[in-house]
Amino acid sequence: MNCSNEAVELMHKYLDHDLTKEEEQKLRIHLEDCEACQKHFHELERTIKLIQNTEQIKAPADFKDNVMQNLPAEKKSVKYTRWFKAHPVLTAAAIFFIFMFSGMFSTWDQNGELVVSKQENLEIRGDTVIVPEGVTVDGDLVVKNGNLRIDGTVDGDVRLINGELIEEEDTIEGSGLMASAGEVNGDLQQVDQMFEWLWLHLKDLFKNIFSLGYIQLIG
């Protein structure tokens, strides 16, 4: 066996765990006979041990911070997402209010048009809704963006939004007897302004939540 080439080649293969059984046998037999190769082999093994035993080097303490400071800015959305994850209660509250207010504003926003709850026997003149005399309206009556005159009877609650309740009977007939105010067998609520609209919604909300069922007249 040629010491300078073949044996050394086998040694390196051995160090890389690449030797076949026969090659290993071959190397072993050669090493037993050849002192020079034995020495070479030990030097190689010792070299590897020396390299492996060098101390571990640690990065400076501020290494990570320096890296983080030099990174390009992250997306805003991710920052918010992380904040939301860190504050679940606040996030839940925020979402709750967003839904509540957006719902309220969207209902308020259907402005301008006269809206009347679907009931029979109602008379509509221009922007005035009339409950004619001698007529009984069943159920709750809602009028939005219009005035309401009640000559007859409403068997339920009345809700008047963005309009006025015309109390006085001043028709052409002008008869005193006919001037008797209509009857509402329930509550009468009148809402004129956004603030009151808001208040009403909140009140409804709490009423639904707590099922207290208390009723208040606004107007």
Partner 1 sequence: MDLITKEKIKQVKRGDQSAFADIVSFYQHKIYQHCYRMLGNRHEAEDIGQETFIRAYINIHSFDDKRKFSTWLYRIATNLTIDRIRKRKPDYYLDAEIRGTDGLNMYSQLATDSRLPEEEVQGMELQDYINQEIAGLPPKYRSVIILRYLEEFSLQEISDILDIPLGTVKTRIHRGREALRKKLRHV
Nearer to partner 1, 72 or 126 (CB): 72
List of residues contacting partner 1 (CB under 8 A)? 8-9, 12, 15-16, 18, 40, 43-44, 46-48, 50-52, 54-60, 63-64, 66-68, 70-72, 74-75, 77-78, 82
d(CA 43, CA 3) in angstroms, rounded, equals 15
Closest approach of partner 1 to the CB of residue 34, in Å:
17
Q: What is the DSSP code string of 161-190? A: ESS-EE-S---SS--TGGGPPPEESS-EEE
Contact yes or no for 131/177 (Cβ under 8 A): no
Q: Which token pair is 38?
A: 């034995």
- Least distance from C-beta 163 to partner 1, angstroms? 52
Between 26 and 40, name the residue whose CB sits nearer to partner 1.
40
Q: How far is the CB of 12 from partner 1 (least distance, A)?
A: 4
* Strands of 123-125's sheet in order across: 123-125, 128-131, 147-150, 165-166
Select 63 or 97, whichever has its Cβ closest to partner 1.
63
Residues shown for the chain = 219
Nearest distance, CB of residue 68 and partner 1, angstroms: 6
Q: Which is nearer to partner 1, 78 or 172 (CB)?
A: 78
